[in-house]
Structure 1
Amino acid sequence: MEYPSGNSDTWLIVPCYNEGPVIRDVLSNARKTFPNIVAVNDGSADDSADRIRESGAWLVNHPVNLGQGAGIQTGIEFARAQPGAKYFVTFDADGQHQVHDVERMVERLRREDVDIIVGTRFGEGEKKDSQVPWIKRVVLKTAVMLSPTTRKLGLSDAHNGLRAFNKTVADGLNIRMNGMSHASEIVSTIANEGWRVSEEPVDILYTEYSMSKGQSLINGVNILADGLVARRLP
């Protein structure tokens, strides 16, 4: 299959844990627009690694599950070492993120004075808000309320995993928090480094599959716990 060369300077970073049912389709679809993708198989117990290979994406394996933060950091380190890499995108493996949003975010990086763009589910008023399941909406907005740094930066959805950033940010990120707390660590690093940050309204596809993995009570508790961690970060 022929892939476009116009985005050859952009790398998608996809942390993956037990996403065998969907990961091949997610990666294959994204590669139609962004040929450079590294998927980090974070100690999956299913066939995720095989499905990643079949998609044609680069595969990096963690021998054990280390958490999403570790998966993102491994992917960043791989991607930033590649010749010609200028732009980087963190992209979820479960099919929630949309390629058309990535295109828009990367184009903004190319033409605007901004270092990192964070996706938001709350950027277009109540119409956009209503697309987010109410439990998720309450959890995410509470997490923002718990984080003074997030509010200071003007971010409304710090736990949105869709982020696009330039080489300056890629070289400067050193995520140490392996679990959900990596989201607040990224926000803290943006503030500490003085990176220019903006938001972009994005569409999140809430499928039955993704909701079964991402809308659980435990997930919500983890996000709120991350909000408490954020209060202690500089």
Structure 2
Amino acid sequence: MPTPSDLPHADTWLVIPCYNEAQVIGDVIASARRTFPNIVAVNDGSADDCDVRIHAAGAHLVNHPVNLGQGAAIQTGIDYARAQPGAKYFVTFDADGQHQVKDVLAMLEKLKNERLDIVVGTRFGDHARDTDQVPWIKKLVLKTVVLLSPKTRRLGLTDAHNGLRVFNKKVADHLNIRMNGMSHASEIVSRIDEEGWAVGEHPVDILYTEYSMSKGQSLINGVNILADGLLARRI
């Protein structure tokens, strides 16, 4: 019988920040674990039973006793994953079901074959597949953020707020996210620029379900992202 280290993709860890996603997190983890055996989900002070669903689905569970924000949850997950024996590749993966395993596999292949340090998913760019599926308000906000961020443009990134990222251990060991909320996306871009990490993009398909739209497409969320874009002009 193969040991966990012998399984395909055993050197890859998915990091899933989770806040009040009990309705879907079990299915998200179960689906991803068919391909990736190593998943750590950070329950970021949820008021529902996310922790129970995460544990039942077979992922490693780390609990924040209070809600600290997505940036903090991602950093906690990375800290946990990079401490595990044999961990070489890391993936930030959303808890709401928008991200797809097939895109992670393609991004891992790009990371390895093109000798990159980090690959960021994009809904835009020359080879984007589902740009017409992106809600127009979301598209306007995201493109505005790119225009506001000189570092994002300098790196050639078209979708800096895409939460699907794949990176190597060099990045994991030095990615010390300090901005707990939405601004962590701009902080990651800033770190890529400052450290000179080799970065690439890969087109991804985002699943905009009724559930994920209700969780992540609100006016308040758009305002937060635009505020992040203004912050990006300084970092």
TM (norm. structure 1) is: 0.97
Match of 2:173 in 1: 171
- The secondary structure found in structure 2 opposite 1:142 is helix
- The secondary structure found in structure 2 opposite 1:130 is helix
Whole-angstrom CA distance in 1 between matches of 2:126 and 2:232: 25
Unaligned 5+ segments in structure 2 are none
2:42 to 37, 40, 43: 40
Whole-angstrom CA distance in 2 between matches of 1:71 and 1:50: 17
Match of 1:123 in 2: 125
Whole-angstrom CA distance in 2 between matches of 1:178 and 1:47: 22
* Aligned residue identity for 2:65: P
Match of 2:194 in 1: 192
How far residue 42 of structure 1 moved from its aligned partner, in angstroms, is: 0.1
How far residue 163 of structure 1 moved from its aligned partner, in angstroms, is: 0.2
Match of 1:141 in 2: 143
* Aligned residue identity for 1:25: D
Where do 1:16-27 residues align within 5 Å? 16-27=18-29
Where do 1:152-163 residues align within 5 Å? 152-163=154-165
Unaligned 5+ segments in structure 1 are none
Identity of paired residues, percent? 74
- The secondary structure found in structure 1 opposite 2:200 is strand
Match of 2:231 in 1: 229
- The secondary structure found in structure 1 opposite 2:156 is coil
Whole-angstrom CA distance in 1 between matches of 2:197 and 2:38: 25
Q: Is the 8 A contact 1:39 1:59 kept in 2?
A: yes
Moved more, 121-130 or 221-230: 121-130
Aligned pair count reads 232
- The secondary structure found in structure 2 opposite 1:77 is helix
- The secondary structure found in structure 1 opposite 2:133 is coil
Where do 1:189-228 residues align within 5 Å? 189-228=191-230
Whole-angstrom CA distance in 2 between matches of 1:14 and 1:50: 15
How far residue 129 of structure 1 moved from its aligned partner, in angstroms, is: 1.6
CA deviation map 1:35-54 (0-9, x unaligned): 00000000000010000011
2:153 to 128, 151, 156: 151
- The secondary structure found in structure 1 opposite 2:94 is coil
How far residue 125 of structure 1 moved from its aligned partner, in angstroms, is: 5.5
How far residue 104 of structure 1 moved from its aligned partner, in angstroms, is: 0.7
* Aligned residue identity for 1:110: K
Match of 1:107 in 2: 109
Moved more, 204-213 or 109-118: 109-118
CA deviation map 1:30-86 (0-9, x unaligned): 000000000000000001000001100000000000000000000000000000000
2:134 to 132, 135, 149: 132
- The secondary structure found in structure 1 opposite 2:130 is helix
Whole-angstrom CA distance in 1 between matches of 2:130 and 2:96: 20
- The secondary structure found in structure 1 opposite 2:170 is helix
Q: Is the 8 A contact 1:123 1:200 kept in 2?
A: no
Shift of the 139–170 alpha-carbon distance from structure 1 to 2, 3 Å rule, reads same
TM (norm. structure 2) is: 0.96
